A and B are shown apart, each in its own frame.
Chain A
Amino acid sequence: MTQYGPLNRNLGSGTRTKAVRSDMKWHELTRAGNIYEPGNANSYETGDWRSIRPVWNKERCINCLFCWRYCPDASVIAKDGKFEAFDYKHCKGCGICAKVCPVNAIDMVSEDEIEKVKEANKDEN
């Protein structure tokens, strides 16, 4: 998962309450339904929507970062202007990154295949 540091800006002096949880009772809810934790959707994982997964090929990658630019889910993590990794906890497997890649450095692999490989490896061990 992408790790975001603390925000470097003032969020105002509004009443801060404890973090919002999904199992809250109605009387525990924040006033006006305010959310005090910016970007907390990051803790909600959409990776299980995926049926195909992008796999990065390091040798072929030219670090053009088109995949980073065109990812709707901010799931391509770039570090110091270079491709770092895919955020599989949020990637929905749309396949845009593989399509925009000019050097075909991203392969879309079926999750079933990955499961099968994992199972096979488990048996060997």
Chain B
Amino acid sequence: MATLKELSKVEERFVGGHRLCAGCGHGITVRMILNAAEGSNVVVGCATGCLEVASTIYPYTAWRCSFIHNAFENAGATISGVEAAYRALKKKGKVKEDFKFIAFGGDGGTYDIGLQSLSGAMERGHNIVYVCLDNEAYMNTGIQRSSATPTGADTTTSPAGKVIPGKQQPRKDLTAIMAAHNIPYVAQTAINNWQDVHKKAKKALEVEGPAFINVLSPCPRGWRYNTPDIVEITKLAVETRFWPLFEVENGKWKLNYKPKKYVPIEEFLKPQGRFRHLFKPGNEHLIKAIQEEIDSRWLALLERCGETPELPPR
């Protein structure tokens, strides 16, 4: 495991001057992932989303590597096409260097709109890495609900009020969907643990064939928490088992982090403005329902990972 001292000497691929909000989780995640690529040549593709519109405003680009622009729904298709072209050119001897291919997508471009092209790219077995930067709503267009939005979150298309208490449906488990593609590497990680992100990004880049990483990347604007607390909020997501850290290597599930103590989900919900309405009197049953869902998902995950399915001690 490389230390930060060594990693800080690696060339920066995502430079300042991009127009992401102050304290955006995407900037941190992208820098971590590209840092893990170290010296190798990288081609990046980006599904439409906060990251793309903020980092490539013509005539500026924040990427110090090859970057290919594409639409919302086809990041997977574009990057697999680039990879196929590269393989053909390499065979003919027109390209000499080795390249790595990374696609970044937000949760809108991955969970919803880009799911078909991502699924196709994974099924065809291209040697690519797809990184989903999950900020749990369409933040770029003004916080609309997506299938990654957790139950009870207040967004502009699931507004909490007299009629509904925020989003009513449970979130989609995309990492499990990707694992069901039986690809060599699937992982779920969060930026509070940079070693975990680094390790998983490195594994994904080294593996032969498609890899998928789902990263929790908080959005201070959409989640409405205090901007500097990004690491704490992600840590709470992991500790409350809202966002478990696990990986699936060649079909084998492995849990990477097991919280030592039972932390109730309120700890994660409380600092965020999007869940404020859940703490109003009379809404206790909503939090209870969220907690029950998290507990049942945790037990199912433990079972998949071959561990004893039990909740952490209170």
Residues of A within 8 A of B (CB): 2, 4, 7-12, 20-22, 24, 30, 33, 35, 37-46, 49-50, 63-66, 68-75, 78, 80-82, 87, 89-96, 98-100
Determine if B285 is an interface residue (Cβ-Cβ < 8 Å): no
Instruction: Given A44-B60, A95-B227, decide whether A72 and B23 contact each other with a Cβ distance below 8 A.
Output: yes
- A9-B41, A99-B231 are known contacts. Are A66 and B4 too (CB-CB below 8 A)? yes
If A69-B4, A72-B25 touch, whether A4 touches B64 (CB-CB below 8 Å) is: yes
Q: Name the residue among A11, A33, A38, A63 with the largest chain B CB count within 10 angstroms.
A: A38
B142 to chain A, nearest CB (A): 19
Is the pair B4, A68 in contact by a Cβ cutoff of 8 Å? yes
List B contacts of A8 (CB < 8 A): 11
**Which of B8, B59, B191, B220 is A40 in contact with, Cβ under 8 Å?**
B59
Q: In chain A, what residue has the closest Cβ to B56?
A: A35
Interface string of B220-234 (1 = CB under 8 A from A): 100000011111100
Residue with the greatest number of chain A CB neighbours at <10 A, chosen from B8, B25, B56, B220:
B8
CB distance from B11 to the nearest CB of A (A): 8
- B28 part of interface (Cβ distance < 8 Å): yes
Q: Is the C-beta of B141 less than 8 angstroms from some C-beta in chain A?
A: no
A21-B59, A41-B62, A65-B4 known; A90-B16 Cβ under 8 A? yes
A78 CA / B231 CA spacing, docked (Å): 21
Which parts of B50-97 form the interface with A (CB within 8 Å)? 55-66, 69, 97
How far, in angstroms, from A69 to B25 measured CA to CA in the complex? 12
Q: What are 25 inter-chain pairs, A to B, with CB distance below 8 A? A: A2-B12, A4-B64, A11-B66, A12-B66, A20-B58, A38-B61, A41-B15, A41-B16, A42-B62, A43-B17, A44-B17, A46-B19, A63-B5, A65-B5, A69-B4, A72-B31, A73-B20, A74-B14, A74-B16, A91-B16, A92-B23, A95-B227, A96-B227, A99-B228, A99-B230
Contacting residues, chain B, for A22 (C-beta < 8 A): 59
Contact residues in B for A33 (Cβ distance below 8 Å) = 58, 69
Using a CB–CB distance below 8 Å, which chain B residues touch chain A?
4-9, 11-12, 14-28, 31-32, 41, 55-66, 69, 97, 191, 194, 220, 227-232
- Chain B residues with CB below 8 A from A4, complex form: 12, 15, 64
Instruction: Tell whether, in the assembled complex, residue A65 and residue B8 are in contact, meaning their CB atoms are under 8 Å apart.
Output: yes
Q: Closest residue to B26 on the A side, CB-wise?
A: A72
For residue A61, give the distance in angstroms from its CB to the closest CB of chain B.
Answer: 13
Contacts of B58 in A (CB 8 A): 20, 33, 35
Known: A2-B12, A65-B8, A75-B16. A70 touches B28 (CB 8 A): yes
Chain B residue with Cβ nearest A78 = B8
B239 → A minimal CB distance (Å): 17
> Which B residues are in CB contact (< 8 Å) with A92?
21-23
Which residues on B sit within 8 Å (CB–CB) of A95? 23, 227-228
The complex places the Cα of A87 from the Cα of B97 at a distance, in Å, of 33
- Bound complex: CA of A33 vs CA of B101, how far in Å? 22
CB pair A20 B227 closer than 8 Å: no
Contact B15 A39, beta carbon cutoff 8 Å: yes
Residues of the B chain whose Cβ atoms lie less than 8 Å from the Cβ of A20: 58-59
Residue of B nearest to A39 (CB): B64
Taking a contact as CB atoms under 8 Å apart, the answer to whether B16 and A96 are in contact is: no
Nearest-neighbour CB distance to chain B for A97, whole angstroms, equals 9
Chain B residues with Cβ below 8 Å from A91 are: 16
The 5 closest A-B pairs by CB, nearest first: A72-B27, A90-B16, A94-B23, A20-B59, A81-B5
Contact of A42 with B17 in the complex, beta carbons under 8 Å: yes
Q: Collect the chain B residues with CB atoms within 8 Å of residue A50's CB.
A: 22
- Contacts A74-B14, A80-B9, A95-B228 given; indicate if A35 touches B4 (C-beta within 8 A): no
Give the shortest distance, in Å, between B104 (CB) and chain A (any CB): 14
Whether A38 and B17, one on each chain, are in contact in the complex, defined by CB atoms closer than 8 angstroms, is: no
Distance from B188 Cβ to chain A, minimum over Cβ atoms (Å): 20
B133 to chain A, nearest CB (A): 12
Q: Once the chains bind, are A39 and B59 in contact (CB under 8 Å)?
A: no
Residue of A nearest to B12 (CB): A74
Complex: chain B residue closest to A35, CB-CB: B61
